[in-house]
Amino acid sequence: MNGIVQALTGIVRRSSPERKHLAERAAALAKRLGPCHTATGMAQAKHKAVGPRKPPKRTEAVAAPQRNRTAPGSAGDSASRGRGFVRIIAGKYRGYRLPVAESPGLRPTADRVREAWFSALMSRHLLAEATVVDLFAGTGALGFEALSRGAKHVLFVDHQRPLLEAIRAHAVQLGCSDQVSTLAVDLLQEGGPWVKVAALLPEVSLVLSDPPYAIAEALGPMLQAFPNSPAAAPSAHLMLELPVPTTLVLDAPWELLKRYPFRGRELWLAACESTRE
């Protein structure tokens, strides 16, 4: 309609005998149509209906949910208050995450170091159907990695009961409770923990130990007591992580098979024949 009014007005502007008459008709038509049909009126009407444009609201970015395969309850809760996670690297439980709780002396074995541990053990066929003791178990990463790769049973040993409770919760989550035992004991007590270990898991074929570095030098008597203890299988192996340098010595019947150097640490693989009569 606005175009019609403009056309009529253009005609009036040109010279015409009926200029006055057409001007009156154009004014009457515009009045009858009202302001909403003119360009200015339509813009004003739209502004009144919509209102002034508001700036867009700022929204906070929401992180995508992540897959969490940790155990429920206390073990999972400790992750939010702890220092992250360690994961099982390979085997049937690959990718399962173990929370690292805030605990004095707890120092989880790094993934790349753990991979070196188990590459050495797998290359010598020491894991299949093995009966394993995980000393200074902490998060349980070494013991669960052993179960994931074919160990028959693992006894987790630590002096901190909350850590052992978390390990049992993970065993339930993974469906391997019948392959897991726990023992709360002072590992540096005279004679070592071996009598108590034997009561829960006789014929231990593999000992894993990643101790706090501050007490690593004091492990000698405990380790030397193992071959003559009721816990030792006729032929057994030890995998041990130590700081470098170290003064620890393994005497006979232990035989040090190999040392694997890493920055600031070493892995020792040793073997022994039981001296128990």
Q: In this predicted model, what pLDDT tens digit does every residue of 18-54 receive, in sequence order? A: 556 656 765 665 566 555 455 455 555 444 544 555 5
* Structural domains of the chain ordered from first start: 2-47 (no CATH), 74-273 (3.40.50.150)
Q: Along the chain (277 residues), what's the average pLDDT of each consecutive run of 10 residues?
A: 50 53 62 54 50 52 36 35 78 94 65 88 96 95 96 96 96 97 92 92 95 89 94 96 92 95 90 79
DSSP code of 35? G
Strand 180-184 and strand 97-99: the pairing is unpaired
Residue 202: asked if its preceding bond is cis (omega within 30°), the reply is no
CB atoms within 10 A of CB 273: 15
Task: List Cβ neighbours of 49 (8 Å cut-off, separation of 6 or more).
Answer: none
What pTM did the predictor assign? 0.69
Predicted pLDDT at 67 = 33
Residue ranges of E strands in the chain = 85-87, 97-99, 131-135, 153-158, 180-184, 204-209, 232-243, 255-262, 265-273
How far apart CA 76 and CA 79 sit, in angstroms, is 5
pLDDT of residue 128: 96
Q: Kindly state the DSSP code that residue 100 receives in the 8-state scheme.
A: -
Structure token pair of residue 146:
């052993």
DSSP of 116-167: HHHHHHHHTT-STT-EEEEET-TT-HHHHHHHHTT-SEEEEEES-HHHHHHH
What interhelical angle do 2-13 and 19-33 show, nearest 10?
A: 160
pLDDT of residue 32: 63
Of 147, 255, 250, 131, nearest to 198 by C-alpha is: 131
d(CA 236, CA 271): 6
Rounded to the nearest 10 degrees, the angle between the axes of helix 111-123 and helix 141-148 is 40
Phi-psi map region of 195: left, alpha, beta (phi>0 left; psi -120 to 50 alpha):
alpha
Q: How far is CA 20 from CA 6, 15, 30, 144, 159, in A?
A: 16, 11, 16, 101, 110
Strand order in the sheet with 265-273: 180-184, 153-158, 131-135, 204-209, 232-243, 265-273, 255-262
Q: Cα–Cα distance between 58 and 235 in angstroms, integer?
A: 67
User: What digits encode the pLDDT tens for the residues 241-258?
Assistant: 999 999 999 999 999 999
Strand partners, 134: 156, 208
